[in-house]
Amino acid sequence: MVFYSRNYIKSFKILMLTYIFLAIQTNAEERFFVTNETLFYNSEIETSNGSFGIIFEDIDDFKTLLEQNIDITKVSLTSLGGFVEAAYEIADLILDYNLDTHLEGDCESACTILFLAGNKRTAKEESKLGFHQTSYSEESAKEEYESMKDEMNFNSPFAYAAWVLEDTQEMILNDLYFYQGIGMSLDFFIKTLEAPSDDMWYPDHSYLREEGIITD
């Protein structure tokens, strides 16, 4: 039988605590990391090419992590938003894998799409869920038109504008049907669209629980 001194045991505990602390600090600086059954996603961590927010490159990373970690049951979110189209694709993955979602930090703008896709939805008390209208810059519209005009047979920017109107109405309707399916009232849905794109509406947690947005 081997006996260890109290100093040895104390030193070992300190070493282990230091290792755990450093591991947590390292994970906290990554956009994605997995702990037990939870996938942590913080889009406010800068990427290698200097990007912030929810971006299209995150979709493949998200999917790969889910495929490699079959025990994941929950996604923990911290994000101030990003590209809406990318958010919808990540939300589809959350739905496909029947995952729960959790607000680790603030979740604003496009991030709300991810959160609402969760089967069960929980939140830290200090976290905030922020809604506002979608914004689309003139530069983004021009880039999209140039990239899609041949594929979609847009003969002019006016044809593109007509398509954008139709697509936007379809997106809002699809959102309404989905949100009603999770129990969101029409009144709450309308409120999510009222804040201008340069402002934010933060419903308190009691209201979110009342509406079934936070489920536990």
Per DSSP, helices labelled H in 53-156 are 57-68, 84-96, 111-116, 138-148
* Spatial distance between the Cα atoms of 134 and 204, rounded to a whole number of angstroms: 21
| Residue at 88 is within a domain | yes
Between the alpha carbon of residue 68 and those of residues 72, 73, 139, the distances in Å are: 9, 13, 37
Token pair 């889910």: residue: 66
Domain containing residue 39: CATH number:
3.90.226.10
Judging by DSSP bridges, how do beta strands 121-123 and 100-108 pair with one another? parallel
* Spatial distance between the Cα atoms of 30 and 122, rounded to a whole number of angstroms: 22
Total structural domains within the chain? 1
Query: How is residue 147 written in tokens?
Result: 């990239």
pLDDT score for 182: 86
Give Cβ neighbours of residue 191 (< 8 Å, ≥ 6 apart): 131, 201, 203
Query: How is residue 59 written in tokens?
Result: 């979709």
* Spatial distance between the Cα atoms of 177 and 182, rounded to a whole number of angstroms: 9
3-state secondary structure of 41: strand
First to last CA, the chain: 49
46, pLDDT greater than 70: yes
Give the domain range for residue 89: 30-132+186-210
Global confidence as pTM = 0.81
Taking only Cα atoms into account, the Rg of the chain, rounded to an integer number of angstroms, comes to: 21
In the beta sheet, which residues pair with residue 33?
Answer: 40
pLDDT tens figures, 48-95: 888 889 999 999 999 999 999 999 999 999 999 999 999 999 999 999
Using a CB cutoff of 8 Å and minimum separation of 24, what contacts does 181-189 make? 182/116, 182/212, 182/213, 183/211, 183/212, 184/211, 184/212, 184/213, 185/211, 188/213
pLDDT tens figures, 110-166: 999 999 999 999 999 999 999 999 877 898 899 999 999 999 999 999 999 999 999
| Residue at 124 is within a domain | yes
pLDDT tens figures, 192-209: 999 999 999 999 999 999
Percent of all residues in the chain with a pLDDT value above 70, rounded to a whole number: 87
* Spatial distance between the Cα atoms of 66 and 93, rounded to a whole number of angstroms: 9
Q: Which of 69, 126, 123, 66 shows the shortest CA–CA distance to 96?
A: 66
What does the pLDDT average to over 6-31?
49
Q: Which is higher by pLDDT, 216 or 32?
A: 32
pLDDT score for 183: 87
| Residue at 107 is within a domain | yes
| Residue at 102 is within a domain | yes
| Residue at 205 is within a domain | yes
| Residue at 115 is within a domain | yes
| Residue at 100 is within a domain | yes
Token pair 């496909």: residue: 96
pLDDT score for 49: 82
pLDDT score for 1: 46
| Residue at 109 is within a domain | yes
